[in-house]
Each structure stands twice: as C-alpha cells, then as structure tokens.
Structure 1
C-alpha cells in the first residue's frame, strides 16, 4: 500500500483549536468574574470593604482588575489560536494571573499597592466563601486550568500530526485544468476544403502519379 501522506516540515506549531478551547473559555469566565466582582458584589451583599458598588481603589485595580484582565487575554488566546506557541502563551498568562490572585493580597503591603479590604460577613463561613471567591479559590482554579492547558498543548498527539498532514495535503493537491463538464469549442478552419486532412504521403503520392 502506498503512503500518500505529505511529510510536514515546520508544522509542529500547528494544532487544532479545540486543544485549548475549553480551558480558554473557563479562564475568560473566571477572569471576568475576578475583575468585576469587587464592583458588583455589593449589589448581592457579597463584598469586601468598602461595601460600595463600583467603588474604585488602587488595591482593587492591582489585585483584582489587572489579574482578571490578564486571565481574559490568556483565555482568548487559548480559545481562538491554532498556533501552539500562541496558545502556550495564553495558558501561561492564565497561570500567572491565578498565582497573582493567590499571592498578591499577601504581598500588597510590601509592594505598597494598598489594602484589598476585609470581607463584609457576619459569619465565619461567609467570610471564608468571600476569601475563596475573590482571591484564593479563584486563583487556585486559574492556576489549575492554565497548568492543565500547558500540559495538553505541549504534547504533540497523533491527532495533531494527522490534522497538519491533512491541511498540507489539501494545499498541495493539484487541480485539473479542465473538468469533465467544461465546454470545449472546436474552431473549424475556413476554406472550401472541408474533407479529411491529407497526410504527406498522400500528397506526394498524387504528385508522383500526375507526373
């Protein structure tokens, strides 16, 4: 059996977009949540101080809006990219954003970027839920999704090789100049002689006979 596959060179960076699509979609959702919840949380009595909707502070900008935006960008790269290097960048952005959600609050005082505030809660269980939803649990989930995407994208599977081979084979497949349905117009020479074309032997044969 003849192997009709076209060998691929330089196709190692190509992959199916579905490899990082789910992780990218979840990172977009988590990043949007992390960036917006400090401003809309007070509407649902689920907030850190100051307990005021759409109240901007320097700490919220550095500790929540910035990593949330980075996670959204990383998720978008994972969601739409068919290039392994670009998708890998998006996955690492998700990991970095999640790590900052976890470690940023603890290092805010050292870096001089303000205080994220205290959870507005009457019970310990609600305070824990706020800590997890705003910072630690959210960041840990981002790190997990980003790391899983890094591992998935870094492995070049058989499906990736087949995907690249099929694309290259489709690009190099020759196309016929004419199809079976193309109309071919035959141009007849003008003149009085519409009979069979005489060969050179017939021509010389008649001339010999005439002589």
Structure 2
C-alpha cells in the first residue's frame, strides 16, 4: 500500500506550470491591468482593497500554490491535495463575485473597457473563464494522480512463490564465479605450433617453435619423408 503512494514527479508538471501561471494572472490582473488598459476600475495600478484580496489575490495565490505542489510532488496524497486546492480556487474565481455579495462585498471594480464585448472579455479573463480553466486543469491533475499506472503496479506486485528475488549484487557475484570456473577449465594453449604426426621424435623433433620454418628444419623433414618411403 505504501508503494502505491509514490508517483513519478513528472505526472503533475504540465498542470502545475499552467496553474501557477493562471493563478498569477488572476491575482495580478486587477493590480497591473491598468498598465494595458485592460482590467477593472479604478484606472490606476497597484490599488489594493479588501475586495480585491478576497476575490482575486487570495484565490490566485491558492491556485498558484496548488500548481506548485503539483509541480514538485512525488506523493499521491500530497499531489491530490494540491489539485483540490487549485480546484477550489478556480471555483471561487467563477462564483466568488456572486456569492461575495452576501456579506456586502461590492467587487473589484467595473470593467475598464468601453464596449460590451470588452466588458465580457475582461470579466471572462479575470473571473468566470479563468475559474473554469483552472478547475479543468486541476481536475485533470487529480485524475492523473488518482490512477495507478501499470509500471507502478508491477513494481508493487509480490514475487511468485518459489521464485528467488533478483539481487543485482548476488547476480554479479555469480557471474564472476562462473567466468572464473570456465577460465580454470579451459585447457592451456601453447604459442608454438604443434609438431606434425610422425615427427615427435627423430631428426625433426628439435624443430619446434620459431625454428619450424627454418631452412635446416625443412631439409630434415624432407629427408625424414624420403626415408619413410
């Protein structure tokens, strides 16, 4: 059971990076949006209010933290905690401006755009659409962390009965002993050429090794063959 809690660190990398970027976008858009004339009133940068803290900065920080956990987590439980944290942050981006009116939170401000299309784009980019995308990525990460891969399952399967577990060190030692035994059983070979049959004794017996092809040894071998005839 403990082995199935470990997961590869690469499992939540993509979702983690995207969640970090989207969390930073949602948290900083009301503060730096006026630089690009895209965001919410007032048209001044770095204007902090408690409404912006509750509706943008806090959920953006939560989404970025969840993505950071997913990015570096190698434990299934910790990774799923990061995924749930990011999912809750995305849900708050989507429905937070509506629910916050129950405790007299007015909102982060009116959209800066002049037309209706610009208003819709700013609202989607800062809250509703952003929240939906964050929830989707968090759900994707949760699904990946909830699944036990085939490779992980094989690593945690018990060894079949009667089968000795493989030990790399013992396997290497066994191979070394086998190689040494083969070396000892191997017959010794001489660097010199063997003497042909019939010349083990006689005139050509001394012609061995480097002197085998000398002129005198060849003459002795020819004489021995004539006498044999």
Q: TM-score by structure 1 length?
A: 0.72
Count of aligned pairs between the two proteins: 165
Residue ranges of structure 2 left out of the alignment (5+ in a row):
158-165, 177-229
Query: Which residue of 2 is the match for residue 205 of structure 1?
Result: none
Please provide the CA RMSD for this pair.
Answer: 2.1
1:85 aligns with 2:77: yes
Quick check: 61-70 or 108-117, which moved more? 108-117
Residue ranges of structure 1 left out of the alignment (5+ in a row):
1-8, 166-171, 181-211
SS of the residue 1:20 aligns to: helix
* In 2, Cα distance between equivalents of 1:16 and 1:34: 29
**Higher Rg:** 2
SS of the residue 2:97 aligns to: coil
* In 1, Cα distance between equivalents of 2:72 and 2:154: 20
Deviation for aligned residue 1:152: 1.4
Query: Which residue of 2 is the match for residue 127 of structure 1?
Result: 119
1:145 aligns with 2:137: yes
Alignment deviations for residues 15-62 of structure 1 (CA, whole Å, 9 cap, x no partner): 111111111110000001111111110000001111210000111100
SS of the residue 2:4 aligns to: coil
Q: How does 1:32-111 map to 2 (within 5 A)?
A: 32-111=24-103
Q: Is the 8 A contact 1:16 1:163 kept in 2?
A: no
1:28 aligns with 2:20: yes
Q: Is the 8 A contact 1:16 1:160 kept in 2?
A: no
68 and 174 in structure 1: CA distance in 2 versus 1, 3 angstrom threshold: same
* In 2, Cα distance between equivalents of 1:141 and 1:101: 10
Higher RCO (CA-CA < 8 Å; seq separation 6+): 1
Alignment deviations for residues 116-169 of structure 1 (CA, whole Å, 9 cap, x no partner): 21111111111111001000000000000011111111110113335668xxxx
Q: Is the 8 A contact 2:87 2:139 kept in 1?
A: yes
Q: Which has the higher helix share?
A: 2
Deviation for aligned residue 1:104: 0.6
* In 1, Cα distance between equivalents of 2:17 and 2:156: 24
156 and 44 in structure 1: CA distance in 2 versus 1, 3 angstrom threshold: same
Please point out which of 144, 158, 165 is paired with 2:150.
Answer: 158
